[in-house]
Structure 1
Amino acid sequence: MDNDEVKNVTTDAEPAEPKRARILEAAMRLVLAYGFSRTTMGDIASAAEMSRPALYLLFKNKAEIYRAIAEQLLDGSVAQAGVILRREGPFAERMMMMIEECLIAMMRHIAASPHGAEILDMKSRLAGDLHAAWRSRLGALVTAAVVDEARRNGVDLQARGLSAPLLSALLLDGLEGMKMRIPDPDEQRVAARGLVRVVEIAIQG
């Protein structure tokens, strides 16, 4: 048995979760460097230091791996957003920190990749449902933050012809459009501050 076979036997005996994490990390690294279409299951198995049969035991194809990566990133983003938005502190500061750490930072590596456009294009085809669920969950968190801030300021949003879900949707729609229109992260931050300021003005007493 040569060294590669020994390595594969040892690796393939690992529990599924550590192995799965290693696959996703390796796949993300390869897709950022070479693109989704050029990355093969064999490439991923090699980068994850396992045999192809071991890889296929966990993922049937690249589409499943893409969805798993997307789900991992999006779930982490929502969890982090919840922690940030529930903190004490000025509304605008919490909202900007959420945008920075949960949206801009999440996209930084993809935006820097020469294959970023291809990776994002795959989102609608392979993970549109995951993105829609993420948007709904994030929207609920932003809505709750707006409700709390309006209550703290003694503001009746309905009397102003507004609602917390509407302001949340306006903010997230604006951020989504910003990502498509403004590739530079620094310029994204400037635009995001403007969007947050609009919402902040709407809920000030």
Structure 2
Amino acid sequence: MDDPATIRRSNIVAAATPIFLRYGFARTTMADIAKVSRLTRPTLYLTFPDKESVFQAVVETMIEAKMTQIRQGISDLASFEERLLYACNAWAAEGYELVQAHPDAQDMFDLGFKSVCAGYQAFEDLIADIICQPAQRSAVDMPSAKIARSIVYALKGFKDIAADGADLRALIATHVAVVSAAFSTTKRIRSK
């Protein structure tokens, strides 16, 4: 059984998540978090020293849940292309749709926050794992980590230019198809 401090921390993170999603980092206050957590501000400050640490815990919890969702979702998919498409849609398209519903949720994807950067790195590592074996069997002569980084930040760019969720999913599908086709080539494609 978890100790009371761990339970309180989890409850605060669960209560603060929808507040950060709705109002973003800048507009959310510790008073807001205390209120939705049904705690006094002094009790909240016993658990989290500041708003940044609550935000970090929320982002880390969301990233962990997303990584779990992606790993479970790809476990039953047969092809490399299906696994990569699922992972990219789960990360980028679902995040895009969240921001469309709640524009201030954009903070959850702001690389100015260390916890968000760590989340992108976790996703990049997951993509590298997904592409590792197909890349080794292909004519692509590049490290999986380098390819994964390219994919992850292409997704970020797609979110910036997409007209809507359907357009973003189409951009992702095209990119995944191109990557998959590259992995089926026999001519060597080298990294520079």
- Per-residue CA deviations over 1:96-138 (Å, capped at 9, x if unaligned) read 1112223322453333214244x258x344x23x333333332
Partner of 1:70: 59
Q: Tell me which amino acid in the other structure corresponds to 1:202.
A: A
Unaligned runs of 5+ in 1: 1-13
The CA deviation at 1:87 is 4.3
Q: Which has the larger radius of gyration?
A: 1
Aligned pair partner of 1:174 in 146, 154, 159: 154
Q: State whether residues 24 and 68 of structure 1, in contact with CA within 8 Å, keep that contact through their aligned partners in structure 2.
A: yes
- 2:134 corresponds, among 142, 145, 149, to 149
1:115 aligns with 2:100: no
Q: Which residue identity is paired with 1:140?
A: D
Could you tell me which amino acid in structure 1 is paired with residue 155 of structure 2?
L
Q: Distance in 1 between matches of 2:58 and 2:17?
A: 7
CA contact (8 A) 1:41 1:62 kept: yes
State the distance in 2 between where 1:61 and 1:136 align.
24
TM-superposed deviation, 1:86 = 4.9
> TM-score, length-normalised on structure 2?
0.79
Task: Return the match for 2:164 from 175, 184, 188.
Answer: 184
2:21·2:108 contact (CA, 8 Å) conserved in 1?
no
Identity of aligned residues (%): 24
**Using the alignment, how far apart are the partners of 2:105 and 2:121 within structure 1?**
24
- Is residue 2:85 matched to residue 1:102? no
Q: In structure 2, do the counterparts of structure 1 residues 115 and 156 end up closer, same or farther at CA, with 3 Å as the change threshold?
A: closer
Letter in 2 for 1:93: E
Indicate the residue corresponding to 1:43 in structure 2.
32
Question: Match for 2:119 among 134, 143, 147?
Answer: 134
Contact 2:131 2:144 (C-alpha < 8 Å) held by counterparts? yes
Q: How many Å apart are 1:140 and its aligned residue?
A: 2.7
Q: How far off is 1:163 after superposition? A: 4.1
Between the aligned partners of 1:138 and 1:124, the Cα distance in structure 2 is 13
Name 1:52's counterpart in structure 2. Answer: 41
Q: Any conservation in 1 of the 2:20–2:105 contact (CA below 8 Å)?
A: no
TM-score of the aligned structures, taking structure 1 as reference length: 0.75
The 1:42/1:141 distance shift into structure 2, 3 A limit, reads: closer
Q: Which amino acid letter does the alignment assign opposite residue 162 of structure 2?
A: I
RMSD: 2.6
